[in-house]
Amino acid sequence: MVRPRQFSDRELLETARALFLEHGPGLSTTVIAEAAGVSQATLFKRFGTKKTLMVRALMPDEDDPQWQALLGMPDERPLAEQLVEKGLIVTAFFQEQLPCVAMLRASGAEILGELHEAGQVVPPIRALNGMQAFFDRAIAEGRMRPVSSEMLALTWLGALRNRAFFQHMLPERSLEGDDHSYVHALTEMIWQGIRPVEESS
């Protein structure tokens, strides 16, 4: 007897994410179940409610390797090279997540506030904390000037988020260069202000 195929939570969430983004928060779980090849009972057994399913489908997966790369500490490579690498990761992350955030807001879900009240570190704060720790370590190692790591992390993340925001909200507005050249130019501009004094002289 052929056993029915087992679907992982990740597979079900990927299907749900694609459908929510295509059809909106009013999408029926019947449609999701049919597209995923499972019963509605399976969906509710795995995720409990439609809201939980939608939130888990549209929120970033904290086990994603991109998160681990973003939150990593400085290694022996040149710091500017590492910032470019992280910048490309963050750019891809924002481009993927902005439509998801817009969909969650359209559904009326105040998920970030709920997570914060539950004592969980929400993704934007986790990213900010991670980059602040990265800059703090680089400062402690004498690899960049002593500046406000929080202000620097906010500036860096904000510049990357804003580009993704304009690409998502105003696609008809042509932005200069591609993502790769933008991240390189941004890194070079920031690096001029934070590189060690001896390197500047």
Q: What is the CATH number of the domain that holds 162?
A: 1.10.357.10
- The tokens of 8 are what? 């992982």
- Has residue 96 been placed in a domain? yes
- Has residue 2 been placed in a domain? no
Residues 164 and 113 in one domain: yes
- Has residue 187 been placed in a domain? yes
Q: Are 75 and 95 in contact (CB under 8 A)?
A: no
In Å, how far are 23, 71, 173, 184 from 178, measured between CA atoms? 29, 24, 13, 10
- Has residue 81 been placed in a domain? yes
Q: Which residues contact 119 (CB under 8 A, 6 or more apart)?
A: none
Q: Which of 92, 94, 194 is nearest to 152 (CA)?
A: 194
pLDDT of residue 174: 66
Per-residue pLDDT of the chain (201 residues; tens, 9 = 90+): 434 457 788 889 999 999 999 998 888 999 999 998 888 888 888 888 888 888 888 887 777 777 777 788 999 999 999 999 999 988 888 888 888 878 888 777 666 666 656 555 667 788 899 999 999 999 999 999 999 999 999 999 999 988 888 887 777 666 777 899 999 999 999 999 999 877 554
- Has residue 170 been placed in a domain? yes
Residues 67 and 162 in one domain: yes
Residues 115 and 132 in one domain: yes
Q: How far is the C-alpha of 110 from the C-alpha of 87, rounded, in Å?
A: 28
